[in-house]
């Protein structure tokens, strides 16, 4: 009886379960027809021996493999949102400019935000929490001392290792205690994605040879700016420099989002020829395995060296990394950056403070007197972390309803076919908001988390 209970298969979308995978497949086809890929997942998870040989690991309680087949091990509570974003990622356009995949509904955000808080120079004029708004937060460049998990974000100076504790799955992910990743995964990362070569004109006017990989997308930000311009629901939008590649994980790769976000910041440093670009030789981006080596070397140099104790070492593992590791890497290379953390305080929610800080950051890079709907800056993108996941913030928008959204490159999801098509040939779609959904993170998403961290590169 105990063995029979151990083989109960649960539906990834509701409470239904059964011992027979065929019955569960029929249930998904009948009750969740929009998620037919889950039926394939059921077979893969329970009827294909090779799958278990490839994953070479036991999934911890509270996690499931993504039924979409992306290779991510997702917390059960996060699965519905994860699958919803997969649908946004798969959105495509047919020859007439209409949509041929994805759900017909739009995702709306309900965070009320006053656009004057973005453009007003006087912090005393910012609305109070009683109005459902947010107050000013420390300006860009000022270090915020309260950090998630109380992890140190400065070069070590006489700190005692006895004060540092090993982190667990909540911070390092489902493979927190793994000594080495499976051999098939290491080989996948060593080989990397298929590369392509092209010539582009640099900011100085010279021809620059550039190498990109299949999991990198160029020129996405210019498309997003046009979509926001044509979205009638958008009041105003701010964007970072367009010299940022959307880097996303390869299929079956799993949770290396922190490294992919570092790669996105590196792509900006290289493509925009920012200070420190010479520290990343070659035309491609450093691999995940190379970044692991660089972080370990940063620890050796004393930058956030307690990270080695907290993680137990990351080289050759699938342990999550976060803002301290990103900061250690950049500082060790002489690339100046600053970190900030946001938790609820004095009646203000953590994501209120986060949104205000991001708004202030983009405000610092544009003409406050401009009446333009879309404000493009030369600012670097922002490394953005919450528990269990990280993204790269590339913009900020306010809608006519007063809602606010972060605009992001999420390394967990590939650039949608719709975006790729618009990069090659832009024509105004009938509903720009649907395409933008995969890049928007607003109140309904952010309110699920209690703490946030950001890392900003100095100008």
| pLDDT beyond 90 at 40 | no
Judged on CB neighbours under 10 Å (0-12, 13-18, 19+), 452 is: buried
In a domain, 57, yes or no: no
At a CB cut-off of 8 Å and minimum separation 6, what does 48 contact? none
Does some domain include residue 76?
A: no
CATH code, domain carrying 343: 3.90.70.130
Q: What is the pLDDT confidence band of residue 36, given thresholds at 50, 70 and 90?
A: very low
pLDDT confidence of residue 14: 72
Tokens of 191: 């080989």
Name the helix (H) or strand (E) containing 236.
strand 234-239
How high does pLDDT run on average in the chain? 79
Domain assignment present for 54: no
- Domain presence at residue 165: no
* Strand 337-343 with 451-457, pairing: antiparallel
pLDDT of residue 406: 98
CA 305 centroid distance within chain: 25
**Domain housing 433:** 215-457
Q: What is each CA distance from 12 to 23, 27, 82, in whole angstroms?
A: 14, 11, 11
Return the structure tokens found at 451: 């703490």
Residue 415 domain-assigned? yes
Are residues 237 and 366 in contact, defined by beta-carbon separation less than 8 angstroms? Answer: no
Determine the pLDDT at residue 334. Answer: 97
Among the ranges given (90-99, 223-232, 339-348, 431-440), the one the predictor scored with the smallest mean pLDDT: 90-99
Assigned domain for 379 exists: yes
Average pLDDT in the 189-218 region? 79
Give the mean model confidence (pLDDT) for residues 88-116. 50
pLDDT in tens, 275-304: 999 999 988 999 999 999 999 999 999 999
**Total domains in the fold of the chain:** 1
Contacts of 176 (CB under 8 A, 6+ apart): 167, 168, 169, 319, 320
Neighbours of 105 (CB within 10 A): 8
User: Is 106's pLDDT higher than 60?
Assistant: no
pLDDT at 302: 97
Query: What local confidence, expressed as pLDDT, does residue 394 receive?
Result: 98
Q: Please, how many CA atoms are within 13 Å of residue 279, restricted to the half-sphere of its CB?
A: 18
State residue 85's pLDDT score.
77
70 inside domain: no
Q: Do the domain assignments include residue 42?
A: no
């Amino acid at each position: 009886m105990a063995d029979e209970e151990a083989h109960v298969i649960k539906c990834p979308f509701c409470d239904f379960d059964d011992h027979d995978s065929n019955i569960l497949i029929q249930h998904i086809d009948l009750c969740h027809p929009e998620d037919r890929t889950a039926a394939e997942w059921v077979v893969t998870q329970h009827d294909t021996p090779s799958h278990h040989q490839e994953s070479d690991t036991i999934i911890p309680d509270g996690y499931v493999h993504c039924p979409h087949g992306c290779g991510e091990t997702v917390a059960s509570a996060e699965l519905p949102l994860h699958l919803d974003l997969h649908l946004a990622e798969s959105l495509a356009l047919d020859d007439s400019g209409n949509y041929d995949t994805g759900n017909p509904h739009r995702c709306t955000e309900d965070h009320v935000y006053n656009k004057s808080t973005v453009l007003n120079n006087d912090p005393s004029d910012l609305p109070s929490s009683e109005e459902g708004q947010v107050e000013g937060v420390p300006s860009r460049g000022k270090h915020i001392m309260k950090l998630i998990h109380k992890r140190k974000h400065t070069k070590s100076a006489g700190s005692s290792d006895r004060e540092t504790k090993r982190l667990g799955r909540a911070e390092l992910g489902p493979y927190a205690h793994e000594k080495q990743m499976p051999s098939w995964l290491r080989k996948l990362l060593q080989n990397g994605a298929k590369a392509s070569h092209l010539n582009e004109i640099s900011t100085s006017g010279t021809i620059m040879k550039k190498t990109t990989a299949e999991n990198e997308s160029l020129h996405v930000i210019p498309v997003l700016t046009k979509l926001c311009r044509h979205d009638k629901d958008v009041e105003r939008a701010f964007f970072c420099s367009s010299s940022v590649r959307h880097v996303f994980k390869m299929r079956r790769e799993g949770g290396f989002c922190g490294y992919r976000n570092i790669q996105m910041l590196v792509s900006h440093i290289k493509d925009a020829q920012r200070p420190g670009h010479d520290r990343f030789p070659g035309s491609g981006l450093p691999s995940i395995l190379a970044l692991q080596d660089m972080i370990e070397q940063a620890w050796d140099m004393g930058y956030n060296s307690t990270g080695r104790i907290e993680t137990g070492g990351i080289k050759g593992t699938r342990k999550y990394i976060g803002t301290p590791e990103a900061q250690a890497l950049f500082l060790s290379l002489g690339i100046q950056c600053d970190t900030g953390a946001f938790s609820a305080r004095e009646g203000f929610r953590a994501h209120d403070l986060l949104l205000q800080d991001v708004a202030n950051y983009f405000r610092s890079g544009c003409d406050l007197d401009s009446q333009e709907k879309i404000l493009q800056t030369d600012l670097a993108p922002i490394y953005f972390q919450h528990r269990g996941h990280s993204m790269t913030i590339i913009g900020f928008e306010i809608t006519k309803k007063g809602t606010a959204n972060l605009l992001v490159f999420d390394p967990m999801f590939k650039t949608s076919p719709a975006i790729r098509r618009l990069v090659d040939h832009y024509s105004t779609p009938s509903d720009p908001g649907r395409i933008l959904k995969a890049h928007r993170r607003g109140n309904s998403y952010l309110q699920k988390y209690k703490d946030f961290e950001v890392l900003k590169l100095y100008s």
